[in-house]
Each structure stands twice: as C-alpha cells, then as structure tokens.
Structure 1
C-alpha cells in the first residue's frame, strides 16, 4: 500500500514538473528569437560614388528635312517653254541658273507700248519745263535722251520744288512711271531662277503646259544642310540649349555626323509632355526624309554623382550605411538616363546601399560584404 501511494505521488510530481517546464519553453524561445533577430547583421553590397561634373546624354530619333526648301508656284500666266523638259525629279541647278521660263512675248510687247507712251508723255512736258522750270529742263532732257525702251526705266530726276512735283503729277508722269515699274517687276516673274544650288524633288508640269498665277510647279531643295526634328522629354530639357552639340547616326548606312541645336519649340506636346528640338547638320550621304538617331550632349551637372536608379524610392530617398546600420537619406534627382540616376545631396565617400532589401528599415544592422 505504501509503495502504491509512493508511486502515485512520484507520478504526480513528474507531471507537475513537465507542465511547468512546458510553460517556460515558449517564453525562452521567444526571448531567444528576439535577441537573435536584433543581433544578426545582414551582409550587403555598397558603392562609394564620387562627386564630379556629369554630362547627361539624351537619345532621340527624328527625320531630316532640308534647311532650304523652295516651293515653286507660277506668278504669271502663260505657256511653259522648253526649259520645263529639264525640270524633272533629281535634276540639279546652280544658283542663278534658269529653272523654268514662261512665254513672255505678248506681255513684253505690251510693256514696250507702255514705255513708248511714257516717253511721248514726258517729251510733251519739256517745252513747259523750259519756260516755267528752267533749272529742271536740262535734267529731264538728258533723262529722256538716255532712255532705252528695251531696258528698265531709270529713276526719275529728283526735285526739291513742290510746284514742279504738282505739275508733273498733273501731267500723269508719276502714275505712268510707276505703272511701268510694276509691269517690269511682273515681267521678271516669267522667268524663275534657282535661289541656291539645289536639286528638284518634285515636278508637276511638262513643257507646253499652260499655267496661271498660283499654279504649283514643283519643289526644289538644297542638299547642303538639313534640320533634324526630334522630340525630347520635358524633364530632360533643362540641360539642352541653343548651340548644344549632338552626334548623329543611322541604322541604315554607315557613318556619323555632327550636329548643333538651332531651334527649340516654345510649346510642348501635352499628350507626351515632350518638346520639339531642331538640330542642324550636313553630309554628302544625307538625304531628305532619312531617319537619324541623335545623342544630345547636355551641359554637365556640377558636383553631382551617378548611382543605380533602382536604389531611389518614390520619395527620392536612398539608404546610406553609417556605423554598421542603415539610414534614410534625402537626395535630389537631377536626371535619369537608362538605369542610372544623377543625384546631389550626398557627401563624397558615403557608403550607399547597392543591394535591394525589401524588408530594410531605419537602423537595420548590416555589414559590407567583402568581394571575393
């Protein structure tokens, strides 16, 4: 009986001891877990960006357009002469060379008749000049003696006399003179000269075609210089100015060409938030309508550094490593270029986190892993 009571008491004591140990185990494990999590230092990679002048490169693509472009329209009525036979796409002309000519014979005859009437009218006032304005007579006599109806009318003799001007106006001298000068200007428009060395890119007529004033005849361009139109994101425009240099290349032909920004649009595309930039360039192998890639070298950012842009959060903050712990640091993002961000706001030599840690927090213990 005593043995039985002793066995039961021993069993009860063992059970109570087991329950007590079980209650203490979770708290110890939890305590051990907390201590471990606070004391473990995570191995990370770090970078030490250097301060300096960093130049941003903007990449864009655009289409070439000739700098000098001449849309040719008829400014007189008549029939195109044989010179139109040469006015074909690809034809080249030197500056001042006749490009197109419209038959002017009928109009020229009408102009000669106007000049003859003017000479008759001016000759009729000579007796009055000799009597009433003797000081003006020699000038007008010499003027009429030198006239040649096959040449353009020279400028009328000048006079300081108001009475003489009234007299000549009353005789219709001035009105006839300026009508003839207007007709001479129109006669010049029957012949079209090349305004520059260029090539015909479009022809819409044939020799013998009757044209009227305003008829479109074709297009001529100069192949000596071109403008490349590209669009640049608004956020990258701060470093691009008039005169900024650019390097141009093509995916279709070999070669590189230098260019320079000559114009910047004053407005922006609201949909894409971009700005049109025009780059002047030249080259023997360039053609209007070609697509070129542009690398625009903006003005350098002073006292800046470049880091991996994925290490910057939406609030423009990065993780810096100080005394073995992570610390948030505010920076200023000046520009982004592909995977790189150009920033300011960090002292030179500061260790910056290069490893992405999703669970990173302020004061997190870290140590910089040694490179093998």
Structure 2
C-alpha cells in the first residue's frame, strides 16, 4: 500500500514539474515593456537684446542732515523755560532750549563792567586837560555805557599818545576781561540754532548741570540723509545730484532722493565707496531703514535674467529642437536676484524658469498658455 502511494506522489510531482517548466519557458519569451519617453514642460523666453540699466541696490538708516548734540560748557542749576525739555518738543530757531542759573556769575560780570566804567571815568579829567581833541568821543562812550546791556566797543584810538595813555591805565585789559566774561555768560543759555525737534533729553528742570555734560540731541526733521556703501567699480560713475528711488521694508512707500555727496576715498577694508543720499518727506523719521536703488550706468545689447538660471560654469540652458542645450554667457553685473548678460544672440530660446535636474539633451516641451492655444485653434 505504501509503495502505491509513493508511486502516485512521484507521478504527480513529475507532472507538476513539467507544467511549471512550461510556464517559465512561456514567460521568458514575452517581450519586455518599452518605457515611455517623459517630456518635461518648461517655461521659455525668446532673447531680444536691449539697453539694460544697471541699478545698484543698497540700504541704510536715515539720520538728520542737521543734528546738534547739546553739551554744557558751564555749571549750574537747570531752570525751567517756556517749554518742557522733553523728547518730541518742537522749538523755533532762536528759542531757548536750556537756561542754566547764572545769578552768581552775572553778578561778577556786572562788577567787572562797573570797574571798567569807573576806570574810564577816572581818566576823563586828564583827557580834558592833556587830550582835549579826543575827550568828546570818550565822553560819548561813557554816556552810552549801560550796565544792563552788552559792553560797547572802545572808541578807536587815533594817535600813539592816546593809545599809550589809555593802555597804560589798564583800560584795554579791563575791557577784554569784561568781553570774555560776557562771552562765557552767554553759554548759560542755549538757543535753538534752527527750527527742529528735541530727540533726546538727558536732564530735567531743577537738576545740577556740570561742565562737559551731555544734555540731549536736537535735529531738523525736514531733511534726512542715508549713508550707503557702493562697490568701488562704480566710483567713477556715481555722481552727486543723481536721482535715487527709496522704499521702506514693507515696499508700501516710495520716496525720491538725490545723491548729495560722494566720498573721495575708498574703504581699504571693504573696498567700497560711501555715498550720501538726501531725502525730504513729512512721513520720514530718523532711524528709519530704507532700501535705495541707484542708477549707475546702462549696458547696451544685453539681457537681464534670474541669477539661478546661470550655472556655476557661466552657462545658460537653451531650447533647440525640443532638446535642452547649454551655451556660454558673459555676465556683466550681478544684483541680489538678477544678472545682466551679453553676447546672447537675438531670437535664442532660453529657459525662463529653472528646471530641476536639467541636463544637455533633455527632452522638453515649451509651455503654451491656454488662451494662446485657443486662439490658434480658432
């Protein structure tokens, strides 16, 4: 019985092996599927050489063109004035910004002026007797001498004798001592040199001010300047008076300025040259960050494309007979996002957007807008 079962299993195994072998042979003879060619759709553009302006992009912060840092040259108590000495306070030209208590010093000035008056009065009898021809002008000087006003200039001495006589009495020395004291007395009051606004206040009314102490900052808010650094290659092109377009960071506001000054030296570290752009606008504030676009020069027979379309080998992709190819390109100027190229023949079809994994010989199909295809079908 066992031999019969083993014989039957052996026959079945042989039959199964035969059918499996037949299937393997049949499958081996089937043709392999042909992979379909992938045609990638690309955006293209046709080269048309024109005159491309070179725009230099730079940025910086605004600073007031007229700026004064206020320092004290005298010592005393800060007395209150017509306006509070606070940031944001506006002053007209000539208005008092800071008034330091000068009562004690004023008294010493008045004392010196009185001494000068007395010295001149003491020589008047001698002048009447010895110099009758100059007596009247000195008498007129005394008559116009007012202790509450600025000391008038001494009469002009017309002879050596008169000069020796007046100088010998110490009158000239006393006069210049008084003028020196009056000059220092004027430093107890700081007036606005121009109409503007106080941007920084480091002292308050009633505080003690010391000599050499910084008191604040005062600016003219009507005119601002922005300092920008430009490549040295444009040193001979950038000129004062050229118009400049300025924008804020949000690209919502545009201002027009002009190049007011160009530094005559090049920074040895950065190899850049400094230019100053003047701009006026009621909406501008000191410290604002702006971006500037300066028109440096124009390149004839050139095109401008995205920087990422230019390879590291200074080549660009072109489309020829539905295949990608590469040609050399001469880069003239680079900006943050663009590059200016020359020596690209007119009519050349180039890529408008980069293609991932692009290579020479790649099969492509230029993208055709739907509206254009519909019009051509009609």
Query: 2:163, 2:216 → 1: CA distance?
Result: 46
Alignment deviations for residues 170-196 of structure 1 (CA, whole Å, 9 cap, x no partner): 111111111111111111111111112
How far apart, in 2, do the equivalents of 1:370 and 1:253 lie? 34
Q: Choose which of 303, 306, 330 in structure 2 pairs with 1:306.
A: 303
- Which 10-residue stretch deviates more, 261-270 or 200-209? 261-270
Quote how far apart the aligned CAs of 1:246 are: 0.8
Q: Which of 121, 125, 128 matches 1:127?
A: 125
Q: 1:147 aligns with which of 123, 145, 148?
A: 145
Contact 2:64/2:221 (8 A) holds in 1: yes
Q: Aligned runs of 1:224-243 on 2, under 5 Å?
A: 224-243=222-241
The equivalent of 1:191 in structure 2 is: 189
Residue pairs, 1:114-263, within 5 angstroms: 114-252=112-250, 254-263=252-261
Deviation at 1:234, TM superposition (A): 2.6
CA distance in 1, matches of 2:272, 2:254: 25
Q: Which residue of 1 aligns with 2:11?
A: none
Structure 1 counterpart SS, 2:129: helix
**SS where residue 178 of structure 1 aligns?**
helix
Range with bigger deviation, 75-84 or 184-193: 75-84
The alpha carbon displacement at 1:128 in A equals 2.4
- In structure 2, the partner of 1:99 is 97
Q: Classify the secondary structure of the residue corresponding to 1:265.
A: strand
The CA deviation at 1:49 is 4.4
Question: In structure 2, how many angstroms separate the alpha carbons of the residues matched to 1:371 and 1:205?
Answer: 69
The question of 1:335 aligning with 2:336 is answered no
Aligned-pair CA distance for 1:334: 5.1
Task: Report the Cα offset of residue 335 of structure 1.
Answer: 3.4
Separation (CA, whole Å) in 2 of partners of 1:281 and 1:185: 37
| SS, match of residue 117 in structure 1 | helix
**5+ residue gaps in structure 2?**
1-43, 318-324, 369-378
Q: In the TM superposition, what whole-angstrom CA distance separates every residue of 1:202-231 from its partner, at most 9, and x where no partner exists?
A: 111122212222111111112111111222
Q: Deviations over 1:219-258 (max 9, x none)?
A: 1112111111222233344432211211111125842111
1:83 aligns with 2:81: yes
Alignment check: 8 A CA contact 1:49 1:307 kept? no
| CA distance in 2: counterparts of 1:144 and 1:316, whole angstroms | 89
- Contact 1:203–1:217 at 8 Å: present in 2 too? yes
TM-score by length of 2: 0.70
Q: How many pairs align? A: 311
Deviation at 1:61, TM superposition (A): 1.4
CA distance in 1, matches of 2:336, 2:316: 18
Does the 8 A contact of 1:249 with 1:292 survive in 2?
yes
CA distance in 1, matches of 2:249, 2:328: 43
**For residues 91 and 183 of structure 1, what CA distance do their matches in structure 2 show?**
31
Residue matched to 2:61: 63
How much has 1:262 moved relative to structure 2?
A: 1.4
Deviates more, 1:225-234 or 1:63-72: 225-234
The two structures, once aligned, show a CA RMSD in angstroms of 3.6
Q: Is the 8 A contact 1:84 1:207 kept in 2?
A: no
Q: Work out the CA distance in 2 between the residues paired with 1:208 and 1:109.
A: 21
Q: Could you list the per-position Cα deviations for residues 292-338 of structure 1 after superposition, in whole angstroms to 9, with x for gaps in the alignment?
A: 1111122x33745335578999999999xxxxxx9x9997x653445
Instruction: Work out whether 1:283 is the aligned partner of 2:281.
Output: yes
SS of residue paired to 1:62:
strand
How far the C-alpha of 1:160 sits from its partner, in A, is 2.9
- Measured in 1, the distance between the counterparts of 2:97 and 2:149 equals 23
Taking structure 1 as the reference length, what is the TM-score of the superposition? 0.71
Distance 1:340 1:73, change over 3 A: closer
Kept after mapping to 1: 8 A contact 2:57/2:335: no
